[in-house]
Amino acid sequence: MPHLRNILEDLELPIDGNGDLSVISPIDGSTIAKVFQTPLNEISQMAERSQTAFLKWRNIPAPRRGELVRLWGEELRACKEQIGTLISFEVGKILQEGLGEVQEAIDICDLCVGQSRQLFGKTITSERPEHRMMEQWHPLGPVAIITAFNFPCAVFAWNAANALICGDPIILKPSEKSPLSGIATLNALLRAIDKFGDEAPDDLAQAIIGGATHSKSLVSNPHMALVSATGSTSMGRSVALSVAQRFGRRILELGGNNAMIVTAHANLDLAVRAIVFGAVGTCGQRCTSLRRIFVHSSLSKELLNRIEQAYASLKIGNPLNEDTLVGPLIDKAAFEKFQSTLNRAKSEGGEVRSGGERVLEDIYSEAYYVTPAIVKMPTQTPIMREETFAPILYIVDYDDFDTAIHLHNDVPQGLSSCIISDNMQEVEYFLSVNGSDCGIANVNMGPSGAEIGGAFGGEKETGGDRETGSDAWRNYMRRTTNAINYSHDMPLAQGISFGRN
Amino acid sequence: MPHLRNILEDLELPIDGNGDLSVISPIDGSTIAKVFQTPLNEISQMAERSQTAFLKWRNIPAPRRGELVRLWGEELRACKEQIGTLISFEVGKILQEGLGEVQEAIDICDLCVGQSRQLFGKTITSERPEHRMMEQWHPLGPVAIITAFNFPCAVFAWNAANALICGDPIILKPSEKSPLSGIATLNALLRAIDKFGDEAPDDLAQAIIGGATHSKSLVSNPHMALVSATGSTSMGRSVALSVAQRFGRRILELGGNNAMIVTAHANLDLAVRAIVFGAVGTCGQRCTSLRRIFVHSSLSKELLNRIEQAYASLKIGNPLNEDTLVGPLIDKAAFEKFQSTLNRAKSEGGEVRSGGERVLEDIYSEAYYVTPAIVKMPTQTPIMREETFAPILYIVDYDDFDTAIHLHNDVPQGLSSCIISDNMQEVEYFLSVNGSDCGIANVNMGPSGAEIGGAFGGEKETGGDRETGSDAWRNYMRRTTNAINYSHDMPLAQGISFGRN
Amino acid sequence: MPHLRNILEDLELPIDGNGDLSVISPIDGSTIAKVFQTPLNEISQMAERSQTAFLKWRNIPAPRRGELVRLWGEELRACKEQIGTLISFEVGKILQEGLGEVQEAIDICDLCVGQSRQLFGKTITSERPEHRMMEQWHPLGPVAIITAFNFPCAVFAWNAANALICGDPIILKPSEKSPLSGIATLNALLRAIDKFGDEAPDDLAQAIIGGATHSKSLVSNPHMALVSATGSTSMGRSVALSVAQRFGRRILELGGNNAMIVTAHANLDLAVRAIVFGAVGTCGQRCTSLRRIFVHSSLSKELLNRIEQAYASLKIGNPLNEDTLVGPLIDKAAFEKFQSTLNRAKSEGGEVRSGGERVLEDIYSEAYYVTPAIVKMPTQTPIMREETFAPILYIVDYDDFDTAIHLHNDVPQGLSSCIISDNMQEVEYFLSVNGSDCGIANVNMGPSGAEIGGAFGGEKETGGDRETGSDAWRNYMRRTTNAINYSHDMPLAQGISFGRN
Amino acid sequence: MPHLRNILEDLELPIDGNGDLSVISPIDGSTIAKVFQTPLNEISQMAERSQTAFLKWRNIPAPRRGELVRLWGEELRACKEQIGTLISFEVGKILQEGLGEVQEAIDICDLCVGQSRQLFGKTITSERPEHRMMEQWHPLGPVAIITAFNFPCAVFAWNAANALICGDPIILKPSEKSPLSGIATLNALLRAIDKFGDEAPDDLAQAIIGGATHSKSLVSNPHMALVSATGSTSMGRSVALSVAQRFGRRILELGGNNAMIVTAHANLDLAVRAIVFGAVGTCGQRCTSLRRIFVHSSLSKELLNRIEQAYASLKIGNPLNEDTLVGPLIDKAAFEKFQSTLNRAKSEGGEVRSGGERVLEDIYSEAYYVTPAIVKMPTQTPIMREETFAPILYIVDYDDFDTAIHLHNDVPQGLSSCIISDNMQEVEYFLSVNGSDCGIANVNMGPSGAEIGGAFGGEKETGGDRETGSDAWRNYMRRTTNAINYSHDMPLAQGISFGRN
């Protein structure tokens, strides 16, 4: 990996370094850099400085704030190749996906620039003469952004671009497994801030390097008006409680256990293509990865065959190689979980049709490449109700569409979902209140790879919140309802008469 | 009170009864009725039945659901006088306010009928050819509505009307201090359901009679998709934690500590009128009651004089008498809190300019009528940062507008607020991000008496949520983001190429 | 028809009368009543009085204006049976459709009541510090409502309910062929105005009886801020020009030439049901009547058979008889047009498969009952591009979906359209920019019978405008964009510096 | 003017040329270039090619179309200085204003990029079970953009950026007085199209050089789905009629006769600053130029003095000189109109307090520099009701606020308006339905210099339409209302039963 050093330099990141946190590449288990963790006792001061920045930033007109985000997008364009490559190094996803992630960050900047001239509230009719009502959306306060290892760039950018146009400073806490990509994305923002000039206050964007203890300290800090956290359900619950305790706000994007229904009217060409990308992309480590398939029994055999065939031709290996489609798992723990889950699946009646093996061990003894697993299950057993962050694809047959939907929804998570069908009744039913209970429900595509224009997030243990597109920006602001009396009298609402005729 | 019996009969409420919960009228301390508390072990079954009702109700088209709410409004119109009177009996507010509360329930029905043909989601452009995106709002699930004693009818109706059009069954848990008015409002709904016919499932609307233990059991039940709770901050925090634990949703409307800024450009006529209704309406027991005034020193003396004059002429007494403007406190505990708060205010340097006395003790020995208190404070002391649910009005002078805003915001609560000023710069600044930090900010009127067309709720310890107008109905639904591929190809978002040329 | 007299009395309409305009029932050609036409020279005074009413009505708070519309809805509920029956008498549509039309008027009242607390404008971010932007929607001015004979009640109510909540007085000009149903609907409004009380100004709702000359005079009057006209394309063009000349506003709902595509994936049960109601409802005299079918050749024969079968069992006759499904044409001219069109169709290669005959001539010598015609066409010929207001259904085969869409769009009108298909790709394509070019595009239902929640109207010669649901209320208001500077400085937009450093 | 040649070269414009249309600089009357007018007989072919381009462009996903507009913005950034300078040369406005105009074009690109991922329609509840409703916005068709001489760049960009993201090709017809700036802006777009690549069809953006005859031919062409025209009321009326004749769409931005009310509570510092920029910016040749002032008599004398003082210090001259604030009139006809209007004003009782003279005649014998005129009028006379495109500022005293508003509105035009007042009641009343009847109503700023985030346009003879921000993009699209039945039944709306039990 000859050019990593150059990339790190270009991105203003420490080369090697001698900090207390080792950043390991899942590609070969080598140490990319050693970075310093933020001293825990600095967090409260950072939060305070963020609050100070807020008092200035909230008064910069939103379209000007949008200009900063536009400059950020320009910076990201300029180093798209580098950050994309770094993501591959640090996360292990293939370069195409690494680049796609940076593109997503660029896209959200573009969207937010436009939004900065909107942030629409409502004017509303009043029941009283010579009164006016409106609601305005005001900046909220400092935003903590806690990201997961698998999307170090895009998820940060979703939150930060929205927060910044909404008038909120940000503090990033990237995953300790992939801090560099997040910091590189932040550095691009800092360069944009430099170009933007004096209107940007100090400490508008800060970062904390560290682990769960750092997160907890940040989450509980009363200055953090909003905590946006991506990760596991247990982490999310802890954030939820900490923030609820102090009446803060939160955006949680937690576990997904995403499924596809392949109906009797499915186009299997589309199905297979959607399945493969959905299940093995990022080596099954996307929150929206496809994990469960419910296939109509009439197509079950053929589908299984075709998936197996497709899996057989997947190139597994170094994600920076152009023809690689499946990179490594993030670390040993992930591999062990992969193994133990497959064992549980087998013990619950599952048949591992293919995959499930560690490969390339001889080349990369410290890295964990695996063959993605296809597991035929007799029905939806308990292990299927859990999210395993690895390329395990469960397949269950169904005969009755209602059963398929029941099984689909019968898990604690509620992030993403999809149906493959050419039949309009099935499709519409799946999208209706009777269908998928997830935050995202797609048709004739996989569950992953959301566009930034729509609100992203899920129900149930996924957290219930939304970020990125649609009007998710409202999470980064507070609403004020205003009634203005410009008459020379003061009538009461609901026609109440109080001590006057 | 000769006609109470008739009213109870009209409203299908128990006359006297022999239950284990005594409902006491604050007017004279007499027992209105004895009702049965719901056995605690029934709550989980009620929740389950509510869930069953949900599975049916969510499939009734929203405009049909709106028709039920229309019928409810008609029922409420038919018994407005009776429920309004009952509210006076049970809560002690004057009849005008009791009627106003029922009118508010009627108004929300009218609004929700129209909304039932909207519940607008978005269609959104997609970055992929022959793809379409949209977001839909779907019914959410059973809604628990926990109301406070002071608004037994309107707050229930706000929540229930929205929930019902949104496809959600409801379970009401009224305050144990004023359950009858809530049940009467519910009975009107049950009559509407009867008229509506078979489309309404059993158990669409239920009620639980009881106290905090009942609430806790209801709040923690996983079937209750949404808990809407009105009351104290400590109750609200407990709800927030219980619901966060299970990733449920909540609407909290908690403490208010609402203030007014009377600037150097104030019209004192408007100010005095707004102050008197705001501070003594419902005997200072509204969540939006006016509690704090910051007055520019140039007007301070005159304002104080005029408020004192106005207070001196307030008729205190039986709230059913037409000329009464101030009824009783809800109970002895409220009176004791009133007294202890005044003592603390004095110890912190406050001067009680008038009021603060118990009156009519000879006529109503078991009821607690008081003279509303005006307390001149040297500055904003700790007692002013607490919400006391009683007619205590603190007045503090200021010289500098920024100071006034600082003091205004320097409390833990964030519900409602107002400014009295003829000066447009002051008014706009107060409504801006630099001004009031409350959910409601009014101009030239008091902090209370919100119209149902705007979103109602507040920031900080008030809970951060919103109910009733604007698009608050979205809290009663879940959002689903849909991407639909109707092409015969399957491009990926962000231009990712995955194993294809 | 023994009870017509009672109905007219109940609806406060002239019984017989001795006016100069004879209202003829298409049921038997008898004269229902003779009403007086409005003297032409009164129209300008009426417009002026409407303007005077506007100056008062626009200041009544919108939710109060909504209350008037609520009362109107109540009045309509009270006489639904009577107006529905009168519509049958006057227009000839079957009672079920007459009642449905009144229900639609009631529905729009319900929707508008809710909307009266919304009429949402936007608050918008400003690029300048201490500036605020918003847009408000204000009442527009008097609205002229010119309706067609076939929907005398509902279309008037759509416009009037919207106009009234938006703050606009109205002047109705009903078709001279069916003025009574319109006046009856207006009389219900006048009763509601009486109940509403003093807030309603005089002349809030007026009517003009007369024909094209009356319309022209009304349309050209500069006080009529908005002209909403339903009818033929040639009438509409004349309105468009007259209003454009004076920079007025207009809503035009003109000719429809509505088609259905029955694809190879169609459910023929649904298709036949949709076709029959769509083509023969109101005897083919709806603006949204189904006139053209493009059917995939694989299903063509079966579909034709089934339609013919269905047509054969249609009961034609007095629309007030419970089992009648097809009533009479409106008058002799309509019948003659029906005949001449069929002749032209034949001359262009069409084969009249069934229908096209006058029937019941012996019983109703002065009325025009016909058997609905099914005409198999070799392709889409010129006559098919014209709208004939009669029950003629053209059927053309197609082999290629793109051809079907091309033929579908290849007419000058653009009101309503539909597809019958179980295939999601076909359905979505039809709804996409490449599909139907109409204002309304339905799936698995006919082109007629729109719900009031959506915007109603069409493209091309249909006029391009929208009324009733969604945000069509905005047509009845004017938008004002407001920028408010509350700073003590005055920066210019676009960062322009003008004579200052 | 040594560098004009370089600028023209940089902007890919003809240097000198030998065409049949001479472009004259109002700075010195010299010929900048001679360009060729488009042969009239080519217009219909251009329209046809635009339609062909439409069929391709409408299928490019909107966010991709946004990418083109982003590239356009980048191109404009790169030549901002040059186009800004060219505008000064060609229109005569000062460089600051020229640059501001280009900035406005850049801003609209930024906004539209974000909007390209929105173009939000609505999902709507249906009254029928297992039915869904939505409305989508689809590309409309080719858009003709006819601009006026005074805003050759920004108004074109407003329309084109919106049109392009909405899926519509454009044809620009710039004013024959300033075609180069428009073409330069178009050339930047063409460069962006080149970079954008193959997805952009040929003829996506075209231009026609010519005058009124060219416009007429373009406007009447049925391929032009939308005509957006800026200019005089008489031009606009002709467009309105031509387009109405063929049921096309239009956006008209016609005459403004913009006024300011300076109330008794005005801050005169703000007033004077707003007045001077509003009245003399672009030498009084903005459609939003300030033309009329109504000042409270208590402040009248002082205001007049201060304006006169301010005017006295205005530097008039070559707009490219840094300290110039007032450039030349566009041509001799404008000067003659200026003179004749002043004469009429005098004959109607006006007193020209200062200005009204031609200056710099000795240096620029072929150019028309004038001293801006201040005319004290006894009341609002007929000449004041006309728009004169020149720096004439009428001032009328008032005593009563209602009179001021009456006079303000008592003109045929309705574009922009403003109030200077610190009094919130006056301000709110001015913004209310009783206040300004214009499309734009500002507070404590002048009538010109609108931000692009709000909808721009006016009422009455200004045309009634809106372009640029808010949701004005909807004018460039067509709305389709969709009802989708995914049940296996087919119920009718309004509960109609048709031949079934």
Following DSSP, what letter does each residue of C467-496 receive, concatenated? EESTTGGGGGEEEEEEEEE-SSS-PPGGG-
CB contact under 8 A, A130 and D432: yes
Closest to A265 in 3D by CA, of D484, C421, C423: C423
The kind and range of the H/E element at C123 are: strand C121-124
- pLDDT value, residue D501: 38
Q: Which residues of A touch B484 (CB under 8 A)?
A: 427, 431, 442-444
The token pair at B40 is 């605690």
Nearest to C486 among B111, B115, B428 (CB): B428
Give percent above pLDDT 90 in chain B.
95
b/e code A455-477 from CB counts within 10 Å (16+ = b): bbbbbbbbbbbbbbbbbbbbbbb
Cα angle: C80, vertex C82, C86; to 5 degrees: 115
- pLDDT value, residue A2: 46
What number is the ipTM of this complex? 0.96
- pLDDT value, residue A440: 98
Check if the beta carbon of residue A150 is closer than 8 Å to that of residue A286.
Answer: yes
- pLDDT value, residue A259: 98
- pLDDT value, residue B499: 66
Check if the beta carbon of residue D469 is closer than 8 Å to that of residue D114.
Answer: no
Cα separations (Å) of D97 from A63, B376, D6, D87, D145? 20, 56, 21, 9, 22
Closest to D351 in 3D by CA, of D381, D315, D309: D381
Helix axes B80-91, B179-196, angle to 10 degrees: 160
Full pLDDT tens readout for chain A, 501 residues: 448 999 999 999 988 788 999 999 999 999 999 999 999 999 999 999 999 999 999 999 999 999 999 999 999 999 999 999 999 999 999 999 999 999 999 999 999 999 999 999 999 999 999 999 999 999 999 999 999 999 999 999 999 999 999 999 999 999 999 999 999 999 999 999 999 999 999 999 999 999 999 999 999 999 999 999 999 999 999 999 999 999 999 999 998 999 999 999 999 999 999 999 999 999 999 999 999 999 999 999 999 999 999 999 999 999 999 999 999 999 999 999 999 999 999 999 999 999 999 999 999 999 999 999 999 999 999 999 999 999 999 999 999 999 999 999 999 999 999 999 999 999 999 999 999 999 999 999 999 989 999 999 999 999 999 999 999 999 999 999 999 999 988 877 777 777 653
Cα separations (Å) of D385 from B349, D355, D393? 64, 21, 12
Closest to D88 in 3D by CA, of D96, D78, D98, D100: D98
pTM of the model as a whole: 0.97
Who contacts A286 (Cβ-Cβ below 8 Å, separation ≥6)?
Answer: A150, A151, A448
b/e code D34-51 from CB counts within 10 Å (16+ = b): ebebbeeeebeebbebbb
Distance CA B85, CA B102 (A): 10
Q: Quick one: how far is CA C382 from the chain centroid?
A: 26
CB contact under 8 A, D451 and C237: no
The kind and range of the H/E element at D465 are: none
CB contact under 8 A, B130 and C429: yes
Task: Give C214 to chain A, closest Cα distance, Å.
Answer: 35
- pLDDT value, residue B2: 46
* Kind of pairing between the strands at B455-456 and B467-468: antiparallel
Residue of C nearest to D105 (CA): C494
Distance CA B342, CA B374 (A): 10
Task: State the catalytic residue, choosing from D67, D104, D176, D253.
Answer: D253
> CA dihedral in degrees (C67, C69, C74, C80; nearest 10)?
180
Task: Give D88 to chain C, closest Cα distance, Å.
Answer: 14
Let me know if B354 is exposed, middle or buried by CB neighbors in 10 A (0-12, 13-18, 19+). Answer: middle
DSSP state for residue C216 in the 8-state scheme:
H
Nearest to A454 among B124, B469, B488 (CB): B124
Q: Which residues of B touch A481 (CB under 8 A)?
A: 439-441, 450, 454-456, 470
Q: Which residues of C touch B452 (CB under 8 A)?
A: 117
Look up residue D181 and give its amino acid: S
Closest to D51 in 3D by CA, of D158, D143, D173: D143
The token pair at C228 is 């909403």
Look up residue C493 and give its amino acid: A
In the predicted model, residues of chain C with pLDDT beneath 70 are 1-2, 499-501
CB contact under 8 A, B124 and A453: yes
Who contacts D169 (Cβ-Cβ below 8 Å, separation ≥6)?
Answer: D50, D51, D53, D54, D57, D142, D143, D163, D201, D203, D204, D205, D206
The token pair at C124 is 């918008």
Check if the beta carbon of residue A474 is closer than 8 Å to that of residue A129.
Answer: no
CB contact under 8 A, B481 and A443: no
Check if the beta carbon of residue D481 is closer than 8 Å to that of residue C470.
Answer: yes
Average model confidence (pLDDT) across chain A: 96
Residue by residue, what is the 3-state secondary structure of D238-271?
Answer: HHHHHHHHCCCEEEEECCCCEEEEECCCCCHHHH
Distance CA B117, CA C114 (A): 10
Residue given tokens 């017809």 in the structure block: D173
Check if the beta carbon of residue B257 is closer than 8 Å to that of residue B385.
Answer: yes
The token pair at B31 is 């027992």
CB contact under 8 A, C428 and B113: no
Q: Return the SS3 of A149.
A: coil
Interface of chain B against chain D, CB under 8 Å? 59-64, 116-129, 131-132, 134-137, 421-425, 427, 443-444
Residue by residue, what is the 3-state secondary structure of B143-192?
Answer: EEEECCCCCCCHHHHHHHHHHHHCCCCEEEECCCCCHHHHHHHHHHHHHH
Residue given tokens 């904003």 in the structure block: B380
Decide if pLDDT at B489 tops 90.
Answer: no
b/e code A386-406 from CB counts within 10 Å (16+ = b): ebbbbbbbbbbbbeebeebbe
Let me know if D399 is exposed, middle or buried by CB neighbors in 10 A (0-12, 13-18, 19+). Answer: exposed
Residue given tokens 């197996």 in the structure block: A308
Q: What pairs with residue B401 in β-bridges? A: none
Cα separations (Å) of C161 from B139, C76, C458? 29, 12, 21
> CA dihedral in degrees (D472, D477, D478, D479; nearest 10)?
-60
Distance CA B80, CA B101 (A): 9
Who contacts C299 (Cβ-Cβ below 8 Å, separation ≥6)?
Answer: C262, C264, C266, C268
Q: Which residues of A touch C121 (CB under 8 A)?
A: 122-123
Distance CA D430, CA D433 (A): 8
Tell me the CB-side half-sphere exposure of residue B142, using CA atoms within 13 A. 29
| Neighbouring C-beta atoms of residue B432, cutoff 10 Å | 19
Is C253 assigned a catalytic role? yes
Q: What's the farthest any 2 CA atoms get from each other in chain A?
A: 93
Decide if pLDDT at B454 tops 50.
Answer: yes
Decide if pLDDT at B132 tops 80.
Answer: yes
Check if the beta carbon of residue D493 is closer than 8 Å to that of residue C445.
Answer: no
Q: Which residues of A touch B241 (CB under 8 A)?
A: 241, 244-245
Distance CA D420, CA D446 (A): 9
Cα separations (Å) of D126 from B117, C445, C454? 7, 13, 9
In the predicted model, residues of chain D with pLDDT beneath 70 are 1-2, 499-501
